[in-house]
Chains A and B, each alone.
Chain A
């Protein structure tokens, strides 16, 4: 279950998997990897784009 709560009574952190720290941390790490991955992909896209424009 993604929901950390079964009732709104007394609820605090209600975001998905808030009661499962390992899952939260895993999603966090995945989002970091995706962010870094897109930067690497940008670097590769540039190198590909520059092939016809080298000296």
Chain B
């Protein structure tokens, strides 16, 4: 028996390796759950599209996910590691994300890089999907892909490096705290979408000649509503990915402050509930109730590790009430067509969240000043600008070159017919040209 006994060093090594593998397992399943976010966005966007655009919206959403993955490998992860100080990169810190070096591939001695890269890819793809919904039914696919790459593999991850990183300058200088990425994910994506829809313009028929908004109904409200619920399911993976697993020690936030999954459980569910109730109170309809659920979570996301749960519930209610009103406001006042309310749900919801933690705070930080109202407000301004400016400028350039939007005749005909060699519901309502070929096959462009 004595020959079988482990030395303290061997025991220590076993415990450490067990912890390392548990860490990998935890983030692996967080990443898997986050894929459900994209199943949700896919259903949500296709349902919100008219029948003639259902598949084109699906293709667009799927491509956003697909293009984010390689481009985030090419340069996104490097941005996160290197750009935490502002616009001047730290090449030494960024070396772990250089795509042709030894950390960026199967490496027996590195259990961390790939699994964290994977989780961040899913965060990145979430930003692109947030933007995707706002521009359905009239944006050109190629322009959309470029904009999605800029947002998902460039802009948001720069915001994450600044404000969702232990050494990010927003935290070390202003005490910014944002547990659930309301700033770098939701605000940046929402404000990016706002910048683009200003230049993209509304769908044909969205406003009457006198400017009165006309509701364009999607072809399947139930599909959209179920999609929104799937996004919520996936958000449990997203929020799991926001917490740091430390072998043999308490969980910490990405900012190094101690926390627990229990804390996040309390507040996520309470804010989710508040968002639904708030949106129901103000709209009485399920599309906004489920969008309100998301807005509720974002409205409490920065402090999911800190709030007294009924406060998270109340913040959720505020998010659920304010976001449909914000969407109505930008539609009626500025004649903007955000097809799914992405700006109001993510941009405004995230803004409420970031600023609210400034009101209900005073918490100490590990690597910077205490969390404060000024720090949260100023950081919210940075996140809004970081999203809006690139989205607006890039889409303006695309619009000037005439490559941002599909031709009006194609928009009226429907993008499935024009671009997609497949029909959504071939036995229901025809979306293809009449078949004169005699083969029985649908004729598509």
Contact = CB atoms under 8 A, between A and B. Distances in A.
B67 A28 contact: no
Interface in B65-116: 67, 70-71, 74, 99-100, 102-103, 105-110
Contacts of A25: 100
B100 A28 contact: yes
B112 to A, nearest CB: 14
Contacts of A40: 142
A35 B109 contact: no
Contacts of A39: 67, 142, 145-146
A35 B445 contact: no
B: interface residue count bin = 20 to 34
Contact of A46 (B67, B70, B141): B141
A50 to B, nearest CB: 5
B106 A55 contact: no
Interface string A18-45: 1001001100100110010001101101
Contacts of B419: 45-46, 49
A23 B71 CA distance: 20
Nearest to B104: A15
B407 interface: yes
Contact of A43 (B142, B409, B410): B142
Given A18-B102, A35-B71, A42-B141, A12 B107 contact: yes
Contact of B99 (A11, A21, A28, A52): A28
B445 A52 contact: yes
Interface string B126-163: 00000000000000111001100000000000000000
B413 A53 contact: yes
Nearest to A13: B102
A32 B140 contact: no
B310 interface: no
Contacts of B385: none
A6 interface: no
B410 A53 contact: yes
Contacts of B142: 39-40, 42-43, 46
A51 to B, nearest CB: 9
B107 A15 contact: yes
Contacts of A50: 406-407, 410, 418
A1 B111 CA distance: 25
A24 B99 CA distance: 9
Contact of A13 (B67, B74, B107, B140): B107
Nearest to B408: A55
Contacts of A15: 105-107
A54 to B, nearest CB: 6
Contacts of A21: 100
Nearest to A42: B142
A18 to B, nearest CB: 6
Nearest to A29: B100
A2 interface: no
Contacts of A13: 102-103, 105-107
Interface in B410-427: 410, 413, 418-419
A5 to B, nearest CB: 9
16 contacts: A11-B108, A13-B107, A15-B106, A32-B74, A35-B70, A39-B67, A39-B146, A40-B142, A42-B141, A42-B145, A46-B419, A49-B419, A50-B406, A50-B407, A50-B418, A54-B407
Interface of A: 8, 11-15, 18, 21, 24-25, 28, 31-32, 35, 39-40, 42-43, 45-46, 49-50, 52-55
Given A13-B105, A46-B406, 15 more contacts: A13-B103, A13-B106, A13-B107, A15-B107, A18-B102, A31-B70, A35-B74, A42-B141, A42-B145, A43-B140, A43-B142, A46-B141, A46-B142, A49-B418, A54-B409
